[in-house]
Structure 1
Amino acid sequence: MTVPAPRARRRPSMLGRLLPLLLIGALLAPLGLLATSNWGRITDDRDFAARERLGVQYLTALAAVTDALVEAQSNAVNGRPAAREALDNAVEEAAAVDARIGGELLSQERWAGVRAKLEALRGRSATDPEAAYTAYGEVADLLLALHRKVRDSSGLVRDPEADSFFLQDSAGEELPEAVVAAGRLADLGVLVSRRPAAQQPRGLMEFSGVRVSALTPATDVVDNLRSAVDGSESTDLGANVLTPLDTYQRSVEALAGYSLPDKDSGVVSPGQLSAAALNSHRSARQLQPVILTELDALLVERIDRLNRDRWLTAGAAVVAALLLGWLAALQVAAGRRARRRAALAATHAEGADTPPHRDPWQPLADESRALQPVGAARDPESTQWGAFDAQ
């Protein structure tokens, strides 16, 4: 019976050996692209938030300058001695901040113009309240424009989160405008009361316009901060903001009431209006640092979260690369083992086809041999000498 020869194993082709490695490479490429893209996006968001923090620092310095300028204007209009120390200190601190981060926020040129105007106020005479009101008003307008520039160049005006956006809008635009306008309203009330009767109607029209300019941003501050508290996930924001906000809202309501002309006389009481404006200024001075502090805290929390996301992305990419590398190593090792087994099988097959080495003195397995008696020596030589010994 013929026994069939074992079928030789087919060696895999080059494409079959490389296909798993190609699949691993094809999977590694999109994963690397995704990790790189996610890392870049998170890094951009983190850098954006860090730049916003620079804007918060600059707005903090400008807030002190704004408060001191409004107070100095009130002193100049009412004929009181100008308290330049607070304004000078605020200007020096703002100049230090501008020297440190103004180049990055592109604010140095504007700050130089504002500072030059502030220095020019030193030599003004206090004998002309109308001229002082106009001069201080021009500087205040430049200062408010600098607020807008800082918000724009730092990216605060494009903040993506609802709570931080409302906070930056309140601290960087609405509240400074409300403080400046409230100071102008009180000073204009004093000036209008001193003008001749023929100029009173025109002065009252100007007063009404300034009143709207003061109350509109103040109302927006209240609405923005309540929206920020309602839409924020921070548990500290409401507890820290609502109390000074309520105080500021009450002061704004009092300012709105005292800025209305009396029903009987048709004029505004300058003393009561000035007191209400001063109260509003003080409450705004307490509210603004709270807003800026909470805004900075939200940005710090966002940066920490983005840092964690960035390192999680890097960790996931490394783990994926290690797993795919391990799979590739397994495929390479399996290919090497397969090649070694194939080489060993080929060696065994060659050994089976070659006849083994045979001793020439040994007879072949199929060679016939003569029958010998039992006990006879198989060696011919031994047999011969055995017969001789027997004689």
Structure 2
Amino acid sequence: MTLPAERSPDRRMSGLLPRLLLAVTLLVPTLVLSVQAWRGTDEKAAFAERERAGVEYLRALGQITLTLVDAQSAAVAGQPVPRDALNRAVAEGGTVDARLGTELRTHERWAGVRAKIESLSDRSHTYPEATYTAYTEATDLLLALYAKVRDTSGLVRDPDPDSYQLQDSAGEELPESVVAAGRLADLAVLAAVRPQAELVRTAGELSNARAEVLDPAHDLVTNLQLAVDSTDSGTLGGNLLGELDAYQQAVEALGAAATLDTGNPNTGDALPDPAAVAAARVVVHAAAAALSATVLTEIDQLLEARVDGLGTARLVTVAAGVALFLIGHAPLLVFLVAAGRHRGSTAPPAPGAGPSGPAGDPAPAGRAGAVARHWPGGTPEPPGPGHPTPADTAPAPKQWEHSGAAR
């Protein structure tokens, strides 16, 4: 019987080569798509983490803004300046800048703000006007630092409508409104001590300062309402609306207190009461501090949820890449498994093995090759029916032996 000839290595390679080419053709785009998806997800996660760093920096700037404006109002009014609160806020801001300033590229601007604030504590102003001007320069630098943080952290380019509106409120409208409220209260104090000849200039400054308080507040209310309407968060609206209403009412009360009385043309414009404006300013700052803390917390929670979702997306990308690889390379894997089984089934016999058994195991040769059975003790089994006699199993004498005996 003739066995089928084994496939030659050349024929096996000729069948394997097209499959290898197909595998490579499918592997390259799969890897490219998987790597691009991974990089895109990783970049989005890094962007969101940098935004969270910006939120933390804005939180520190908010404390500095509140304490700096309080110090300004006290200095302009000739009252003791709360230096301890301002120094603590500046120290906290320095700690945050030391940790995040390299990533957000704020070291230079922060150094200018800090130097300006520290120079205020060392300066003794003879006139309230000079004090107001010096503090105004410091708050201008502080507002510029807000803009820098929002830009370098990417908050101004946030892709989601709700978080974008929130960062615009906390990083622009709120600090501008707080600073403007402080300046309005300070101008009301200055207007009371200015000469009558400067009444027209003073009235114009008060009107502009009042508008600078109300305009950012109006934009803030609009932005936060848009954020609530566009968010998927179940807690954003409930956490913001109450504090937003309190802030809006405080700003409206401040605007009413700072309104010029133009009803009597004989006496000209009546200036607002500095004490009433100062009291309204304190309420605005308290409402702004509570609202700012809530807004920044909501932004951070939205960004954290985004980072977590991107982490899940990375895992899905890896799983999809593995699945595409397996699906695309299934024909090659099946071929390799089948080839391995074929090589195992057609493997040559072990060296030294005979056709009928393992090496060294003699094949049976019929009755002539059978081993005689013995009784226990070595006694040969007696002949009987079906058992050969010794004569039957003894080999025949050779012819040369018979000839030698005859001789």
Give the TM-score band, short-chain normalised: 0.7 to 0.9
The match for 1:288 is 292
Letter aligned with residue 168 of structure 1: Q
Q: Distance in 2 between matches of 1:238 and 1:15?
A: 68
Q: Distance in 2 between matches of 1:102 and 1:327?
A: 55
- Give the alignment's TM-score, normalised by structure 2: 0.78
Cα displacement (A) at 1:24: 2.9
Letter aligned with residue 136 of structure 2: G
Q: 2:302 aligns with which of 298, 303, 309?
A: 298
Unmatched 5+ stretches in structure 2: 349-407
Moved more, 101-110 or 126-135: 126-135
Q: Distance in 2 between matches of 1:259 and 1:197?
A: 19
Q: Distance in 1 between matches of 2:340 and 2:98?
A: 66
Moved more, 18-27 or 67-76: 18-27
Q: 1:329 aligns with which of 330, 333, 348?
A: 333
- Tell me: CA distance 1:303–1:343, structure 2 relative to 1, closer, same or farther (3 Å): closer
Cα displacement (A) at 1:85: 0.7
Tell whether 2:234 aligns with 1:235: yes
**What number of residue pairs does the alignment pair up?**
337
Contact 1:91 1:115 in 2 (8 A): yes
Q: Distance in 1 between matches of 2:308 and 2:139?
A: 37
The match for 2:21 is 22
- Tell me: CA distance 1:18–1:85, structure 2 relative to 1, closer, same or farther (3 Å): same
Moved more, 38-47 or 116-125: 116-125
Unmatched 5+ stretches in structure 1: 1-7, 345-391
Cα displacement (A) at 1:318: 2.4
The match for 1:61 is 60
Letter aligned with residue 288 of structure 2: A
Letter aligned with residue 310 of structure 1: R
Cα displacement (A) at 1:173: 0.9
Cα displacement (A) at 1:52: 0.5
Cα displacement (A) at 1:338: 7.0
Tell whether 2:169 aligns with 1:170: yes
Contact 1:158 1:165 in 2 (8 A): yes
Contact 2:213 2:251 in 1 (8 A): no
Cα displacement (A) at 1:339: 8.2
The match for 1:96 is 95
Q: Distance in 2 between matches of 1:227 and 1:253?
A: 21
Q: Distance in 2 between matches of 1:15 and 1:238?
A: 68
Tell whether 2:82 aligns with 1:78: no
Deviations 1:203-253 (A, max 9, x none): 111222222222111111111111101100001111111111110011111
Kindly report which structure 2 residues correspond to 1:369-380, keeping only aligned pairs within 5 A, or say none: none
Cα displacement (A) at 1:141: 0.2
- Tell me: CA distance 1:125–1:331, structure 2 relative to 1, closer, same or farther (3 Å): same
Contact 2:65 2:142 in 1 (8 A): yes
Q: Distance in 1 between matches of 2:49 and 2:111?
A: 25
Q: Distance in 2 between matches of 1:290 and 1:333?
A: 62
Q: 1:307 aligns with which of 286, 306, 311?
A: 311
**SS class of match (2:235):** helix
Tell whether 2:226 aligns with 1:222: no
Contact 1:76 1:126 in 2 (8 A): no
Letter aligned with residue 246 of structure 2: T
Contact 1:58 1:150 in 2 (8 A): yes
Q: Distance in 2 between matches of 1:65 and 1:340?
A: 78
Deviations 1:253-312 (A, max 9, x none): 112222221234622222222222221111101110101111101010000000010111
- Tell me: CA distance 1:207–1:14, structure 2 relative to 1, closer, same or farther (3 Å): same
Q: Distance in 1 between matches of 2:347 and 2:310?
A: 55
Cα displacement (A) at 1:56: 0.6
The match for 2:365 is none
Cα displacement (A) at 1:340: 9.0
Q: Distance in 1 between matches of 2:334 and 2:92?
A: 65
**SS class of match (1:235):** coil
Kindly report which structure 2 residues correspond to 1:253-292, keeping only aligned pairs within 5 A, or say none: 253-262=252-261, 263-264=263-264, 266-267=269-270, 268-292=272-296
Contact 1:17 1:335 in 2 (8 A): no
Q: Distance in 1 between matches of 2:252 and 2:212?
A: 14
Runs of 4 or more consecutive aligned structure 1 residues displaced over 6 Å after TM superposition: 10-13, 337-344
The match for 1:366 is none
Cα displacement (A) at 1:334: 3.5
- Tell me: CA distance 1:61–1:343, structure 2 relative to 1, closer, same or farther (3 Å): closer
- Give the alignment's TM-score, normalised by structure 1: 0.81
Contact 2:162 2:228 in 1 (8 A): yes
Cα displacement (A) at 1:132: 0.8
**SS class of match (1:234):** coil
